[in-house]
Structure 1
Amino acid sequence: MSAVITFIVMFAFWIVMSGKFDLFHLTMGLLSSGLVTWLSHDLLFSGHTKKLGDLLVEIGRFLCYVVWLSWQIVLANIHIAGLALSPQAREIMNPHVISFKTVLKTDFARFVLANSITLTPGTVTIRIQDDTFYVHAITTQSAGDLAGDGPGEMERWVAWVFEEGAR
């Protein structure tokens, strides 16, 4: 079931991004989506999901996370654009590397967190060693709550979506 849903999501994404509805592009979309599904259908949705209801909950959580992450990316873009246009940029910028220990247990959840941090402008995950993340942040505001006590908001979202029993 997860392979079918992964294929549908991939093909719909192909259609939206290509914007072409001729036979050639639709065929390429079908082939590409099929290949990606065959190679990675078990990555997005965990293999433990047996019932359709559980799978739909997992998909719903993932979609909520995508919306939340997209909004965080917009906010970070506004912050970085304001920083770039500010005459006081030199005083505001405080490039530094922070480290924090993660509560995430699975490699995939850690992978998602690292990529989510890097997708957010102003921060880059530069290393993961065991359960410690090292992140470069251009300002203190960019670092957000990553270096705070306990898991930050992004880490809690990732745990809620990609690890069982979290949140």
Structure 2
Amino acid sequence: MTSFAIEVTPHARLTVDDMAGLRALFDAEYLADFGAWDPDQPYGYAPHDVHVTARRGDTIVGHVGWERRIIGVGADDVAVAGVGGVLISPHARGDRLGARLLARAAESMASAGDVRFGYLGCREEVVPFYEACGWRRITASERSIDRTGRPVTQPPGPPLLTLPLGPDPSPWPTGSIDLRGRAW
């Protein structure tokens, strides 16, 4: 198994080199389809408070980002770590780096103290990967601000996954979800 250095860095502590490495990672994957990566609104989604990165030498080859937010679920307010920007360089795939990054991200979310769940939306074809990493699929409608800045409500069906956190994790509450902002 290839050796990678995995680091957890608050967004405000990213260096100029970190930003350049993240830009290179994301632009290599998405530039042609979505344009240049913008750390303040990556491809129209919400930015991250925390970046979990993997390096091989000086090169960033993997990333998971998360942002703490209070969302509405039914009648409840729920503190979540909204996860996005999960990306592994094609040159670093095959070593279970994605699972290792998600595990480290979960540790950082749990150590944040007041985050009850990890939360993410994804494409159907990657659901088995997240489930293998301990995430649980839920079914609910989801209200958010879309990538163009407009409110949108997605009916139940597209993949939404949660990860209970903490020493005594609770079940996900029932009801429709209001992200109270952009998705991750």
> What TM-score comes out, normalization by structure 2 length?
0.26
Per residue, is there more helix in 1 or in 2?
1
> What TM-score comes out, normalization by structure 1 length?
0.28
Q: Greater CA radius of gyration, 1 or 2?
A: 1
Per residue, is there more strand in 1 or in 2?
2
